[in-house]
Amino acid sequence: MSQNHPYRGLQVPSDAPFELKPSPGKGWGAFATRRIGKGAMILKEKPLFIIRKPHEEIMEEDVWIAIQQLAPSEKEQFLCLRDNASKPFIQMTEACAENSFAISNSTRGQVNDPPIHGLFLLHSRFNHSCIPNSKIPTSGEEIITSFATRDIVAGEEITFCYNTDFECRTRHDRHQALRFVCDCKACLTGTLFQQLSDMRRRLIRGLQYLTLGVDLNGQRQGSASPIIVDSQLKKAAEDFSIPLSARLIYNILAVYLLEEEGLLDDFMIERLNPGILQIAALFETESNTRIARLVTVQKTWLDKLNMAFRLYRRADVADHAITLRLRMLRGLSVTP
Ligand SMILES: C[S@@+](CC[C@H](N)C(=O)[O-])C[C@H]1O[C@@H](n2cnc3c(N)ncnc32)[C@H](O)[C@@H]1O
């Protein structure tokens, strides 16, 4: 039956390292046809069309106009799309929502430019995992590219994470956002890994709060579901008076937890490591400077963490100045 499925009509490049086929319980998915080494490119894809509007403002008419402008062969490709591989979409906006990605225009556009949504025929066939094996880094370009974040063996399903802050969200929160039940290793209830996963992700969120002074939505936490229960510690985070030594430990602990969770890929390291090196370079008290330097040269994140713990509860000459600088950067008065 799957031989005649409309997805067979989707044009997968002949050199692509994957094929499309049914993925039990998830409609169809993309499966590696050969080994894909960590860091290797999986697919570079041009959008079939783009719509320059925020997601919630895209109307039927917008999608119809975009489709009318397609070449006949492209229209045929669009008509292959199915609602999770089963039924044709009833509304064009649904087809668009299920098969499009927000393309960041931050690198080229102006701040007030409308967001761009691109419809991608093939990348939209990739299913979600909360512990994925691929990533589509934001590039600011209309063409998107996926890369393997770890070695993928032939036959393995290729997945990516549909949301950007899931490393800080528990299973319950993730499922509410996804609106389908994911069955990845971090979602399978009754397992030790799942329990640890929730704990790690909650901790990562808390550590982020302690270093940034705000929650994922950029706001201070409300009292309904506290992330940091200790009121003094919460105030210190919001006042940016967390000492440098603790900042370094929190940041490295978050990376270590990401690694334990199976989420630490090269893109993540590229994003997080500069901040850690920057903190390590800020110490001014001589003994602290020496330890911070040792932290940076350790090979593993566990070794870095162990070394960083030597700084635990140590004050630094630079602490006060850092607090003032962070408060000024956030537009707060210099005195808490
Ligand atoms: C963008 S589509 C992915 C491709 C889709 N499976 C297909 O056959 O066209 C997203 C939809 O796939 C399904 N899906 C994706 N990841 C899943 C997962 N981990 N578990 C269950 N369903 C999943 C959900 O129905 C979701 O709304």
Residue 173 in any domain: the answer is: no
Q: Which residue has a Cα nearest atom 7 of ligand 1?
A: 84
Atom 1, ligand 1: which residue's CA is nearest? 124
- Mutation test residue for ligand 1: of 84, 99, 174, 182, the one with most atoms within 8 Å of CB: 84
Q: Are residues 235 and 130 in the same domain?
A: no
pLDDT digits (tens, 9 = 90+) for 11-42: 999 999 999 999 999 999 999 999 999 999 99
| Size (the chain), residues | 336
Cβ neighbours of residue 183 closer than 8 Å, sequence gap 6 or more: 25
- Nearest protein Cα to ligand 1, atom 11: 84
Of 162, 184, 201, the one marking the end of a domain is: 162
- In the chain, what is the greatest distance between 2 CA atoms, to the nearest angstrom? 71
Are 14 and 121 in a shared domain? yes
High-pLDDT (> 90) share of the chain, %: 85
> Is 205 within a domain?
yes
Asked, for residue 35, whether it belongs to a domain, the answer is: yes
**Are 132 and 40 contained in the same domain?**
yes
Which among 259, 11, 43 has a CA at the least distance from the CA of 160? 43
Question: Does residue 179 sit within a domain?
Answer: no
> Are 108 and 232 within one domain?
no
Q: Is the pLDDT of residue 174 over 60?
A: yes
Q: Which of 108, 143, 162 is the C-terminal boundary of a domain?
A: 162
Query: By mean pLDDT, which of 144-148, 221-225, 252-256 is the weakest?
Result: 221-225
CA of 152 to the centre of ligand 1 (A): 19
CA of 220 to the centre of ligand 1 (A): 33
- Do 221 and 301 lie in one domain? The reply is yes
| Exposure on the CB side of residue 55, measured as CA atoms within 13 A | 12
Cα 192 from chain centroid (whole Å)? 24
Rounded to the nearest whole angstrom, what is the distance from the C-alpha of residue 163 to the centroid of ligand 1?
13
10 and 158 together in one domain: yes
Instruction: Answer yes or no: do 62 and 202 share one domain.
Output: no
84 CA to centre of ligand 1 in angstroms? 6
Spatial neighbors of 52 by CB under 8 A, at least 6 apart, are 113, 114, 115, 116, 117
Distance 26 CA to ligand 1 centre (A): 5
ipTM at complex level: 0.99
Verify that 204 and 103 share a domain, yes or no.
no
**Enclosing domain of residue 47:** 6-162
| Residue 14 and residue 93 share a domain | yes
Cα-atom radius of gyration of the chain, to the nearest Å?
23
- Pocket test of ligand 1: the residue of 8, 18, 20, 26 to mutate, having most ligand atoms within 8 Å of its CB, is 26
Q: Is residue 186 part of a domain?
A: no
107 falls in which pLDDT band (50, 70, 90)? Answer: very low
User: What pTM did the predictor assign?
Assistant: 0.93
Q: How far is the CA of 132 from the centre of ligand 1 (A)?
A: 13
Q: Residue 237 pLDDT more than 90?
A: yes
Q: Please compute the mean of the pLDDT values over residues 167-192 and round it to a whole number.
A: 96
* Domain match, 232 and 126 both: no
- Alpha carbon of 4 to ligand 1 centroid (Å): 20
E-strand ranges in the chain read 18-22, 28-32, 41-45, 49-52, 100-103, 116-119, 127-128, 134-135, 144-148, 157-160
The answer as to whether 1 is a domain residue is no
The answer to whether residue 276 scores a pLDDT higher than 80 is yes
| Ligand 1 centre distance from Cα of residue 128 (Å) | 7
Residue 306 covered by a domain: yes
For position 110, what pLDDT does the model report? Answer: 56
Q: Are residues 241 and 284 in the same domain?
A: yes
Quick check: is 239 in a domain? Answer: yes
The domain that contains 69 carries what CATH number?
2.170.270.10
The model's confidence at residue 224, banded by pLDDT at 50, 70 and 90, is low
CB-based pocket (< 6 A), ligand 1: 25-29, 84-85, 98, 124-125, 127-129, 180, 182-183
Q: Which of 156, 160, 180 has the most ligand 1 atoms within 8 A of CB, as the residue to mutate?
A: 180
Look at ligand 1, atom 5, and give the residue with the nearest C-alpha: 84
Query: Over 90: is that where the pLDDT of 109 sits?
Result: no
- Among residues 162, 178, 206, which one ends one of the domains? 162
Count how many domains the chain has: 2
- Whether residues 156 and 239 share a domain: the answer is no
